[in-house]
Chain A
Amino acid sequence: MTGIANIRELFTRNLRQSGIFIALILIMVLFTALTDGTLISPINLTNIVLQYSYILVLAIGMVIVIIGGHIDLSVGSVAALAGAVSAVLVIREGMPWYVGVLAGIGVGVIAGAWQGFWVAFVGIPAFITTLAGMLLFRGLTFRVLENISLSPFPESYSNIATGFQNGLLGGPGYDIFTLVIFGVAVAGYVVTQIRARRAAIAYQQTVGAMPLFITKLVAVAAAVMWFAWQLANYRGLPNVLIILAVLVIVYTLVTTRTVFGRHVYAIGGNLTAATLSGVKVKWVNFGIMLNMGVLAGVAGVIFSSRTNGAQPAAGNLFELDAIAASFIGGAAVTGGVGRVTGAIVGGLIMAVMTNGMQLMGVEQSIQQVVKGIVLLLAVAFDVWNKRRAGAR
């Protein structure tokens, strides 16, 4: 094939992936203009991170579930139960904050293992299993909370989602600590990218042109440092952002570099071929559901910490936001396709849109309409793009 065909191939392959980033930037620019810059003000950017962190945590797990060819409708209920159990232990029983955190995640482990058992070993479709789980865990939440809300958490607990790391180094009006942390992160990113490039060259792979590579690094570094600057000008580095960053890095590695991740894609792409290639399908499916449970537990802890209490109806419809984030981020309904970074960006698109519309004072009803249309268009774009790429 010709060089032109290769470039075309590169373009079609990357359009979906880069398209989502471009969409996020465009939406940010749009709402920045519509809100006279309020959207990207330090306080608002911080708020977006705090407000949607738990959806992003759920989206990480959800995209893996979807890649594996499943769906999970129960994550809102599991998150609610995790928050409820944690609240009962910390608020009612007066236990220390970390007991609440561990118990919340423990609830996620149990719920995930329960659903994983039915999906993987009994062979009940995840849609049914988690639909049942949605009712089951919601019911248990009401039971645990005895139908009332519990609040407030001690400060040590609510700090998880509302606290900041700052001032350790002092600062002249802005937080130097935040800038240092982000600076280290960016440096780490640049070093890994360069090492990956060197390794690729050592393996005689074709790599992108050097100017393009440098442009990409500079653009990412600039965007991240701008974001850091905005945060530093408000209250510093939110704890939640640290949790989120760790999860994104870990799960990007899990999905792209580990055998488990590879097997998830294989199962979603062609179940029989995966089985006949030696993939232990049942255990991988169990792992997928267990992992989703754990992340739902984490999300539950973050949410209860942020709302400073546990409510019986907490986490309602979280699953739909997480699913929407995954699909906007390029996951395929039929499984086998999707990326953690895509789901995160998909979640951020939803977050920025919701936040932007709230700032503009758009009615709740209209917000829903807009979000629905965006979800539909994102998937429509995906379908169109696939048809175009495979038109022969």
Chain B
Amino acid sequence: MAVVVNRKALTFWEKLYLPAIIGGLKVTLKHAYNTLILRKVVTMEYPEQKWTLPTGYRGAPYLVKDQDGDTKCVSCQLCEFVCPPKAIRITPPGDTGLKADRTNAEKMPAEFEINMLRCIFCGFCQEVCPEEAIFLQQDYSLTALSRGEMIYNKEKLLSLGGVSPGIQKWKHKLEEAQAQENFPVKL
């Protein structure tokens, strides 16, 4: 059913439009005064200058390594599953014989691709990741000369992502298991 929204009728002053024009002119004149008389800069020289982004800014998602330089991603494919625009594509190791950086994590992706043209920077991948291996970082200006270049592969994502130190649960598990090999058990 159509809903009729009653608009408030314009008042006499609003109908004149003059207050709005004067309001706009005031801003323009203020900037003109700041630039011409006070010599203040009101624009930013992008791209030489860039904004300071707030923490938690949702830029492009990249893969990160842990403090030992090991790939954190274990190819659980939850981000691929949750990705609303289907921008992520993971090739699991399968029978390729690829060994994981951390041996007891058993697996890591053979290939990990994010199509940055599809990505909508929603952050679901970061939120769903059980390994804290993917983070939306500060990059917002992604350019390339072809669509193909906009599909970032594992190597590129890892090099852009850098290191994100964490609790290293796999290392902890390994140490705990090794400690139990010795008798009496000391923990």
Q: Do A and B come from one complex?
A: no
Chain B residues proximal to chain A, CB less than 8 Å: none
Chain A residues proximal to chain B, CB less than 8 Å: none
